[in-house]
Structure 1
Amino acid sequence: MKKIIDKKVTQLKMKYHTKNPFELCENLGIEILYENLGKNINGFYQAAPRNKVIHININLDEYSRYFTCSHELGHALFHSKLNILFLEKNTHIIKNKYENEANYFSANLYLSDENLYSDKFSGMTIEQIAAQLHIPIELLKLKLK
């Protein structure tokens, strides 16, 4: 699946000349709604006939909104037919597989190899690089795997 995700990221960047998930959503016809989703939910993707919607918690900071949007865009592109809540409650399929794929998409959308392996990060720890890039450390680790 990683190769499929890598290929899709490359295609999106080339076609739309951006890695910004908000701009990609606009180009792909995916609506973004900002809502108060409480303290435990950053966002979620919802598919309905002819409507694709990403819900983002309005209480998140700018960077968290960005990565929530890119994560949910991953679901929109690769898991649009899945009902994760149904799977979680009614089957033994582990939703972590889908969450990891969405995280991998998000990491690859944001982080290019050229930028990541530049000299400006030489001698820095993973934690320092993640802080410098304003990204969750989990995403950086996914990209480096």
Structure 2
Amino acid sequence: MNDSQSIFKYTNEIIERYKTRNPFTLAALLDIKIDYKPYSILKGHYLKVADRKYIIINPNLNYQEQLIVCAHELGHALLHDDSEAHSLMALSLSNMDADQKEREANRFAVSLLVKPEKINKEICDLTDNEIEKIVLLNIQKVG
């Protein structure tokens, strides 16, 4: 899945099906195990071992940062099922050097965490820099 509109639509289907925007709740409902490991550099990590999906989050992050990391890594788990591992080194969701899969996971995270009415533009039309500003400044309370 590589088109912003497709990612936005897919994310909204998940929100409707499971009645939540909370990435921790979604991971539990989707049988994706969340674990915590302190890292010196990494914010989080997604890996798949023998058909079991794991999201590892750095517990030294505050709750809002953990939400963002969990949503981003959940994006990898759902959008990139063929991949075995992804790591998030920086909390910035607009890394211009990010590969396609990282940008897709970023779009998934924004689509999940930010209600469309909170912004003046279609989520699928946002630039990577706009995504970072929205997530860091306007993240909604999820529950």
| TM-score where L is the length of structure 2 | 0.72
* Rounded Cα–Cα distance in structure 2 between residues aligned with 1:29 and 1:79: 16
* Rounded Cα–Cα distance in structure 2 between residues aligned with 1:47 and 1:100: 20
Q: Equivalences for 1:18-29 in 2 at 5 Å? A: 18-29=20-31
Please name the residue that 2:13 is paired with: 11
Please name the residue that 1:108 is paired with: 111
Q: Residue 32 of structure 1 contacts residue 55 of structure 1 at CA under 8 Å; is this kept in 2?
A: yes
* Rounded Cα–Cα distance in structure 1 between residues aligned with 2:53 and 2:133: 36
CA 1:12–1:132: 2 relative to 1, 3 Å: same
Task: Give the Å deviation of 1:133.
Answer: 2.2
State the identity %.
Answer: 32
Q: Residue 32 of structure 1 contacts residue 53 of structure 1 at CA under 8 Å; is this kept in 2?
A: yes
**Aligned-residue CA RMSD (Å):** 2.5
Query: Secondary structure in 2 aligned to 1:37?
Result: coil
Q: Residue 84 of structure 1 contacts residue 95 of structure 1 at CA under 8 Å; is this kept in 2?
A: no
Of 80, 96, 99 in structure 1, the residue corresponding to residue 99 of structure 2 is 96
Please name the residue that 1:49 is paired with: 50
Structure 2, unaligned stretches of length 5 or more? 87-96, 121-129
1:100-140 C-alpha deviation (Å, 9 max, x unpaired): 110011011111222334xxxxxxxx7986665258xxxxx
Which fold has the larger relative contact order, with Cα–Cα distance below 8 Å and residues 6 or more apart in sequence?
A: 2
Which structure: greater helix fraction?
A: 1
**2:39 is equivalent to residue 37 of structure 1:** yes
Query: Secondary structure in 1 aligned to 2:48?
Result: strand
Q: Residue 23 of structure 2 contacts residue 74 of structure 2 at CA under 8 Å; is this kept in 1?
A: yes
CA 1:129–1:79: 2 relative to 1, 3 Å: closer
* Rounded Cα–Cα distance in structure 2 between residues aligned with 1:27 and 1:19: 12
Amino acid at match of 1:60: L
| TM-score where L is the length of structure 1 | 0.71
Q: Point out the structure with max Rg over C-alpha.
A: 1
Q: Residue 71 of structure 1 contacts residue 105 of structure 1 at CA under 8 Å; is this kept in 2?
A: yes
Q: Residue 68 of structure 2 contacts residue 109 of structure 2 at CA under 8 Å; is this kept in 1?
A: yes
Structure 1, unaligned stretches of length 5 or more? 86-93, 118-125, 136-145
